Amino acid sequence: MEDLKQALQRLAKAVVVITTADQNGRYAMSATAVSELSMEPPSMLICVNKSASLFPVLASGAPFIINILHHQQADISVACAGKVKGEARFEFGTWIKTTSGIHRLEGAQASIVCRNVKAVEFGTHGIFIGKVEEVFTESTPDPLIYVDRRYGKMDNVTFA
Protein backbone atom coordinates (compact mmCIF):
# COMPACT_ATOMS: atom_id res chain seq x y z
CA MET A 1 0.00 0.00 0.00
CA GLU A 2 2.99 2.33 0.29
CA ASP A 3 3.14 2.37 -3.52
CA LEU A 4 -0.51 3.45 -3.67
CA LYS A 5 0.14 6.25 -1.14
CA GLN A 6 3.08 7.42 -3.25
CA ALA A 7 0.93 7.37 -6.38
CA LEU A 8 -1.93 9.29 -4.75
CA GLN A 9 0.47 12.05 -3.65
CA ARG A 10 0.66 12.91 -7.32
CA LEU A 11 -3.10 13.37 -7.67
CA ALA A 12 -3.81 17.08 -7.25
CA LYS A 13 -7.30 17.72 -5.89
CA ALA A 14 -9.36 20.75 -4.91
CA VAL A 15 -9.87 20.99 -1.16
CA VAL A 16 -13.38 21.13 0.24
CA VAL A 17 -14.98 21.33 3.65
CA ILE A 18 -18.03 19.14 4.04
CA THR A 19 -20.60 20.43 6.51
CA THR A 20 -23.68 18.83 8.04
CA ALA A 21 -25.72 19.09 11.23
CA ASP A 22 -28.07 17.22 13.55
CA GLN A 23 -29.84 17.89 16.84
CA ASN A 24 -26.45 17.76 18.61
CA GLY A 25 -24.77 20.47 16.56
CA ARG A 26 -22.80 21.33 13.45
CA TYR A 27 -20.02 19.24 11.90
CA ALA A 28 -17.28 20.13 9.43
CA MET A 29 -14.52 18.08 7.81
CA SER A 30 -11.81 18.81 5.22
CA ALA A 31 -11.82 16.42 2.28
CA THR A 32 -10.52 15.83 -1.22
CA ALA A 33 -12.48 12.62 -1.93
CA VAL A 34 -15.40 14.45 -3.53
CA SER A 35 -16.70 14.22 -7.07
CA GLU A 36 -19.51 15.13 -9.39
CA LEU A 37 -21.61 12.07 -10.13
CA SER A 38 -24.31 12.99 -12.65
CA MET A 39 -25.89 16.03 -14.24
CA GLU A 40 -29.21 14.19 -14.59
CA PRO A 41 -30.14 14.13 -11.84
CA PRO A 42 -27.62 16.67 -10.60
CA SER A 43 -25.67 14.79 -7.94
CA MET A 44 -22.39 14.64 -6.06
CA LEU A 45 -20.59 12.01 -4.03
CA ILE A 46 -18.41 12.33 -0.97
CA CYS A 47 -16.23 9.74 0.75
CA VAL A 48 -15.96 9.94 4.55
CA ASN A 49 -13.89 7.83 6.93
CA LYS A 50 -16.05 5.93 9.41
CA SER A 51 -13.95 7.39 12.24
CA ALA A 52 -14.96 10.99 11.34
CA SER A 53 -17.34 12.71 13.76
CA LEU A 54 -19.76 13.55 10.96
CA PHE A 55 -19.92 9.96 9.64
CA PRO A 56 -22.83 8.84 11.89
CA VAL A 57 -24.71 12.06 11.08
CA LEU A 58 -24.37 11.41 7.35
CA ALA A 59 -25.16 7.71 7.86
CA SER A 60 -28.46 8.79 9.44
CA GLY A 61 -29.36 10.60 6.19
CA ALA A 62 -28.58 14.22 7.10
CA PRO A 63 -28.13 16.67 4.22
CA PHE A 64 -24.66 18.02 3.54
CA ILE A 65 -22.85 20.88 1.84
CA ILE A 66 -19.66 20.68 -0.18
CA ASN A 67 -17.76 23.96 0.26
CA ILE A 68 -14.99 24.29 -2.37
CA LEU A 69 -12.26 26.35 -0.74
CA HIS A 70 -10.55 29.43 -2.18
CA HIS A 71 -6.73 29.21 -2.22
CA GLN A 72 -6.56 31.70 0.67
CA GLN A 73 -8.65 29.44 2.96
CA ALA A 74 -5.98 26.89 3.92
CA ASP A 75 -6.44 27.85 7.60
CA ILE A 76 -10.05 26.66 7.43
CA SER A 77 -8.97 23.37 5.88
CA VAL A 78 -6.33 22.82 8.57
CA ALA A 79 -8.88 23.57 11.32
CA CYS A 80 -11.36 21.11 9.81
CA ALA A 81 -8.75 18.38 9.23
CA GLY A 82 -8.63 17.21 12.85
CA LYS A 83 -6.53 19.82 14.63
CA VAL A 84 -9.63 21.61 15.94
CA LYS A 85 -12.63 19.65 17.21
CA GLY A 86 -16.41 20.07 17.10
CA GLU A 87 -18.10 23.45 17.04
CA ALA A 88 -14.73 25.24 17.30
CA ARG A 89 -14.17 24.48 13.60
CA PHE A 90 -16.86 27.06 12.81
CA GLU A 91 -14.77 29.80 14.47
CA PHE A 92 -12.68 29.88 11.28
CA GLY A 93 -14.38 31.75 8.44
CA THR A 94 -17.92 33.10 8.23
CA TRP A 95 -20.72 30.54 8.05
CA ILE A 96 -24.21 31.21 6.67
CA LYS A 97 -27.19 29.00 7.50
CA THR A 98 -28.99 27.77 4.37
CA THR A 99 -32.62 26.79 3.98
CA SER A 100 -31.51 23.16 4.50
CA GLY A 101 -30.43 24.08 8.04
CA ILE A 102 -26.77 23.38 7.19
CA HIS A 103 -24.13 26.13 7.19
CA ARG A 104 -22.15 27.08 4.08
CA LEU A 105 -18.84 28.91 4.03
CA GLU A 106 -18.99 32.51 2.88
CA GLY A 107 -16.13 33.24 0.48
CA ALA A 108 -15.83 29.64 -0.69
CA GLN A 109 -15.35 29.18 -4.43
CA ALA A 110 -18.67 27.35 -4.42
CA SER A 111 -21.03 25.70 -1.94
CA ILE A 112 -23.14 22.81 -3.16
CA VAL A 113 -26.13 21.93 -0.98
CA CYS A 114 -27.09 18.25 -1.23
CA ARG A 115 -29.96 16.10 -0.03
CA ASN A 116 -28.42 12.84 1.17
CA VAL A 117 -30.07 10.12 -0.95
CA LYS A 118 -27.85 7.02 -0.79
CA ALA A 119 -25.03 5.59 1.31
CA VAL A 120 -22.66 2.72 0.58
CA GLU A 121 -20.07 1.45 3.05
CA PHE A 122 -16.81 0.08 1.71
CA GLY A 123 -13.77 -0.73 3.84
CA THR A 124 -12.89 2.16 6.13
CA HIS A 125 -15.19 4.66 4.42
CA GLY A 126 -18.76 5.55 3.59
CA ILE A 127 -19.72 6.88 0.18
CA PHE A 128 -22.60 9.32 0.32
CA ILE A 129 -24.52 10.38 -2.77
CA GLY A 130 -26.28 13.71 -2.62
CA LYS A 131 -28.88 15.17 -4.97
CA VAL A 132 -27.96 18.80 -5.58
CA GLU A 133 -30.63 21.12 -4.18
CA GLU A 134 -28.91 24.52 -4.33
CA VAL A 135 -25.60 25.99 -5.52
CA PHE A 136 -23.78 29.17 -4.47
CA THR A 137 -20.73 30.47 -6.37
CA GLU A 138 -18.40 33.36 -5.60
CA SER A 139 -15.45 35.00 -7.35
CA THR A 140 -13.25 33.77 -10.18
CA PRO A 141 -12.13 30.13 -9.89
CA ASP A 142 -8.96 30.04 -7.77
CA PRO A 143 -9.28 26.90 -5.62
CA LEU A 144 -7.09 25.60 -2.83
CA ILE A 145 -5.23 22.56 -4.19
CA TYR A 146 -3.77 19.65 -2.21
CA VAL A 147 -0.93 17.61 -3.72
CA ASP A 148 2.09 15.81 -2.25
CA ARG A 149 0.75 16.48 1.28
CA ARG A 150 0.93 20.25 0.69
CA TYR A 151 -1.49 23.06 -0.04
CA GLY A 152 -1.06 25.13 -3.16
CA LYS A 153 -2.86 27.14 -5.79
CA MET A 154 -3.12 27.09 -9.54
CA ASP A 155 -0.38 29.35 -10.93
CA ASN A 156 0.69 29.68 -14.51
CA VAL A 157 -1.73 27.00 -15.68
CA THR A 158 -2.15 26.75 -19.41
CA PHE A 159 -5.32 25.13 -20.61
CA ALA A 160 -5.10 23.32 -23.95
Q: Which superfamily does 2-153 belong to?
A: Electron Transport, Fmn-binding Protein; Chain A (2.30.110.10)
Confidence of residue 117 (pLDDT cuts 50, 70, 90): very high
Decide: 17 and 105 in contact? Cβ < 8 Å.
yes
Decide: 108 and 73 in contact? Cβ < 8 Å.
yes
pLDDT of residue 70 exceeding 70 = yes
pLDDT of residue 160 exceeding 80 = no
- Biggest CA pair distance of the chain: 48
Q: What is the pLDDT of residues 27-66, one digit of tens each?
A: 999 999 999 999 999 999 999 999 999 999 999 999 999 9
Q: What is the pLDDT of residue 139?
A: 80
Tell me how far apart the alpha carbons of residues 10 and 25 are, in angstroms, rounded to a whole number: 36
* pTM score: 0.93
Where in the chain are the domains? Answer: 2-153
Tell me how far apart the alpha carbons of residues 95 and 77 are, in angstroms, rounded to a whole number: 14
